[in-house]
Amino acid sequence: MIIERYISKEILTNLLGISLVLLIIIVGNRFILIMEETVSGAISAKYVFSLLYLNIITQLGFILPFAFYLATLLGLGRLYKDSEMSAMAACGVGQARVIRATLAIATLVGGLIMMISLFVTPWAFEQIFTLQEISKKQTDVEAFKSGEFRAGEDGHSVIYIEDVDASDSQLNTVFARGRSGNKNYVIYAKHGYQQRDTASDQRFLILENGRRYEGIAGQADYTVIEFKRYRLRIEEDLIIGEQDNLMTRSTESLLGNPDRFESAELHWRISLPIATVILGLIAVPLSRTNPRQGRYSKLFVAILIFAAYVNFMAMGKVWMEDGMLPVTLGLWWAHLLALLFGVGLVMKQTGLRWRWQRKAFEEAGT
């Protein structure tokens, strides 16, 4: 038990450090993206830190398997580099005990990842989409900024607001450009405000005291309309895009639905803890180095193996959604390939394959 605790401490210490580094990177990246959406008006500024916290939770299910994989590789690699593994082997501690200790930790970490993947992550995604939807449906002026041009994806719709008065939700000096059939129009209004039609779930700009100019560019035949109140529909791509809510579905609801999309999502959630255990097995033979090589000598190869494993799972998920893979097969084939690869590495390192081949040769000779 002393050896197992020592190996566990080495791996868990590295796991904590690597997880913190990856979280800092993820937090920085997500913070930049959230701030960009805030500046563009896609989300409200008061939800920034809530969204940042929830995005961290959604990344844990993917960070922890990779962090554990690297922690095992670097932790055991240090023991090889400092010749501690050689000392253990001289005392009768074989590779089987190292594998058992590693798999025991992998099972515990995998159990934690399973709880996060099956229950915590869907809840976090649901909260994220809820906050985004609340921000989308708000009728205040936070979606627009003073002196900013907001262009639509069609290349024709443009809105410019000279001044945004958030204190009374007032828009001052509003210009809007768009296209109606083969004619272009330009709208100018002194004041305006936002409004959402609850029946159609569409957002409008209510403009007051302005003019609408409509005509064909280069021709003098154009129309001028003065108005006291004008309702202009805002394209949703000027505010926020639609979000897929499949990731918000609870695991219980996925279990009761045979649809291939729900099955693919369920298989993905289950795959993360399974991959953690298999990656722990692969990391044990990969960590074996001599003191001259150093603990980072196989890091690049290990990352390539991890990337290949994850890509196989991602492709399997897409194939399930497209109906190219049966639901019963799911992503099990990817785990089986990775497991066979890990077992092959262990057999090669421990000499089990050579002994098995020699035994088979002797039996054939007799």
Which secondary structure element, helix H or strand E, spans residue 222, and what is its range? strand 222-233
The per-residue pLDDT for 222 is: 81
pLDDT in tens, 247-292: 888 898 888 766 889 999 999 999 999 999 999 999 999 998 776 7
**Is residue 108 domain-shared with residue 201, that is, in the same domain?**
no
Residue 141 inside a domain? The answer is no
| 265 and 233 co-located in one domain | no
Residues 76 and 205 in one domain: no
User: How far is Cα 35 from Cα 135, in angstroms, rounded to an integer?
Assistant: 14
For residue 129, give the 3-state DSSP assignment.
helix
Of the residues 190, 222, 238, which one is the last residue of a structural domain?
238
Boundary of a domain, candidates 189, 206, 238: 238
Residue 232 belongs to some domain of the structure: yes
Residue 9 shares a structural domain with residue 125: yes
If asked whether residues 234 and 248 sit together in one domain, one would say no
pLDDT given for residue 165 in this prediction: 73
DSSP state of 120: I
Same domain, 220 and 274: no
Do both 130 and 253 map to the same domain? Answer: yes
The answer to whether position 256 is within a domain reads yes
| 319 and 230 belong to one structural domain | no
Q: Indicate the range of 242-246, 342-346, 347-351 predicted with least confidence.
A: 242-246
**pLDDT band at residue 12 using 50, 70 and 90 as cut-offs:** very high
CA angle 294, 300, 303 (to 5 degrees): 125
The pLDDT value recorded for residue 154 is 61
For the stretch 188-243, pLDDT in tens is 998 888 776 666 667 778 889 999 989 887 777 788 889 999 888 776 544 433 33
Between 34 and 74, the higher pLDDT residue: 74
Mean pLDDT for 11-28 is 94
Are 128 and 18 members of one domain?
yes
- Shared-domain flag, residues 7 and 113: yes
CB-count exposure of residue 72 (10 Å: 0-12, 13-18, 19+): buried
Instruction: With a cut of 90, say whether residue 172 has pLDDT above it.
Output: no
In a domain, 99, yes or no: yes
Domain boundary among 238, 254, 283: 238
Does residue 215 lie in a domain region?
yes
Mean pLDDT of 36-44: 71
What is residue 200's predicted lDDT score, i.e. its pLDDT?
Answer: 65
In a domain, 64, yes or no: yes
In a domain, 52, yes or no: yes
Q: What's the confidence (pLDDT) of residue 203?
A: 73
The chain-wide mean pLDDT, for the chain, equals 83
- Residue 233 domain boundaries: 148-238
Helix axes 332-350, 299-321, angle to 10 degrees: 160
Q: 89 with 201, same domain?
A: no
pLDDT band at 141 (very low <50, low <70, confident <90, very high): very low
Across 42-51, 118-127, 130-139, 350-359, least confident range: 350-359
Q: What is the pLDDT of residue 166?
A: 59
Q: Of the segments 148-152, 209-213, 315-319, which one has the largest average pLDDT value?
A: 315-319
Query: Do 327 and 310 share a structural domain?
Result: yes
Q: What per-residue confidence (pLDDT) applies to 127?
A: 92
Whether 143 is covered by a domain: the verdict is no
Please tell me the total count of domains within the chain: 2
SS3 188: strand
Q: What integer is the mean pLDDT of 330-359?
A: 81
- As given in the structure block, the two tokens for residue 217 are 């560019």
- 3-class secondary-structure state, position 122: helix
The DSSP call for residue 1 is: -
Q: How many CB atoms lie within 10 A of CB 154?
A: 10
